[in-house]
Chain A
């Protein structure tokens, strides 16, 4: 007799608990993202030290009042480098997501709205092909062809994120296009472009924002990976990925050099992932309670 009782109580409490947890996801995600944004913005007006300024007298120091996160092998202040690294992280993410958004969303909407099935098929097959090239691999191809640096890296990461945007835009546009108000607009002889701009885009923008948050997290990961390989941000510009790579030589003597950039990479990615998950529940309540 106890079991049906239990499932009865579960059924009544179930809708409340997951939504509270999802709200927590959104809040924690927003706080983590805000932390990175604040670090980056403040770095433009104030940093404890010049992050590129070497100080041979203060090499490989631990945390102290003078150097909150310690110093690296050249005596450069780690906290200042983390602050400056936040700028690069956000810049790469923003530009990469913007490229993917501007190309991917119109392509996905076109694939959904076009009357020519061959065009829709072509767009989606091209999308599938692009998926065979992970972001980091595409960035390495660009680095080999054009040279290493943050410019080619950002373009490659942006292109690699196009399929995600195109897929989300297409599937959500297809749903919107089957609604009655679209049929009304079509019956009213509105041009397809006007329908796309005034009716489809405003209704799919929520899920596109979710995709942007997820793509941002992936771009942060890929930039860190590229800089770790020495193919992304070039010295002396501080970058979390390169700080991590340089820390490897000093793991036994100064492990804090690995921990700080590692922690901030993880926090930034976690922040954007949680923000995306939380927003998805806001915009698509059907997915509530799933990971």
Chain B
């Protein structure tokens, strides 16, 4: 287990370093001078040169990259040359909103997808199974921002049950915090649940044909008990893989959903920064998002070995 963990951690570190190079390269090699963008098209070459010198943009790119990464290791994400403010506080202020949103959405989507997908698999030759599959297919086609607008239309505009936007700090008003969280989390998780339930269905269908399930039935378990006790655990590995893969989609979905509900998360900050072409802020937020995706993948890999010890031995 220790060897597996250390190999996996090393892979994680290498991927993170390469990803940081890619993020930096994309934002600095694509055409367009950052200083020119910050100052506007009418800026004189002298003013552009002065700004570049001030922020070290006139140095070679590898030096700039090392300076950026070195700063991040000390918690310094650099200073935006659009807002003249440090980027670190922007990220630390918004990351918890996004994290709460994404974690809640994963939990809710699994809570929906596992029972629904299992039901669809168990009843896959009956009308109920077909209906669930069709609903899943439609759900996959609905982007999270459309789900968000439809939810606002029904639960805020027509029924008036829940707020259509805004963020309440949990320490100030816990009930208001939960109320402000319901619609954004639902918008993200309903679509994810539709995608996940299709994989749960497929994974459970595979397991249903396995010998060990027949053995469990032969030992006297009912069909339902056999599926829950033995089937779901074995179906969990592919479902976990997809959940991990979908998390990057969920993070991006959160970016858009935050904008719909005016939540002060990383998505709102990222969209604002992209609109202002605030490259330093974009760079920092994208790196944190990629870091989160990689951490999640790492956790998924570790979870595998807990669910299915055969994988650990293979590694």
Contact = CB atoms under 8 A, between A and B. Distances in A.
Partners in one complex: yes
Contact of A291 (B19, B202, B256): B202
B154 to A, nearest CB: 10
Interface string B167-184: 000000000000000000
8 contacts: A14-B125, A129-B18, A129-B22, A140-B282, A144-B274, A228-B259, A244-B146, A266-B146
Given A144-B273, A255-B157, A273-B141, A262 B252 contact: no
Given A129-B22, A145-B27, A221 B138 contact: no
A141 B137 contact: no
Given A10-B125, A129-B15, A248-B260, 12 more contacts: A137-B255, A137-B289, A142-B26, A146-B30, A225-B143, A225-B252, A229-B271, A230-B271, A258-B150, A266-B141, A269-B140, A269-B141
Interface string B98-132: 00000000000000000000000000010000100
B31 interface: yes
Contacts of A168: none
Nearest to B142: A266
B149 A291 contact: no
Interface of A: 10, 13-14, 17, 21, 129, 131-134, 136-137, 140-148, 217, 221, 224-225, 228-231, 244, 247-248, 251-252, 255, 258, 262, 265-267, 269-270, 273-274, 290-291
A252 B32 CA distance: 42
B45 interface: no
A180 B15 CA distance: 39
Interface string B25-36: 011101110000
Interface in B33-47: none
Given A132-B19, A145-B27, A270-B141, A258 B157 contact: no
B190 interface: no
Given A144-B274, A224-B143, A225-B256, A262 B149 contact: yes
B305 interface: no
B153 A255 contact: yes
B274 A231 contact: yes
Contacts of A142: 26, 30
Q: Which 6 A-B pairs have the closest CB atoms?
A: A270-B141, A145-B30, A269-B141, A144-B282, A291-B198, A144-B274
B152 interface: yes
A97 B249 CA distance: 19
A144 B277 contact: yes
Contact of A140 (B22, B202, B260, B274): B274
A221 B286 contact: no
Nearest to A17: B125
Contacts of A133: 22, 290
Given A132-B293, A140-B270, A273-B141, A291 B252 contact: no
Nearest to B125: A10
B271 A231 contact: yes
B150 A262 contact: yes
Given A134-B252, A224-B143, A273 B137 contact: yes
A265 B252 contact: no
A289 B270 CA distance: 41
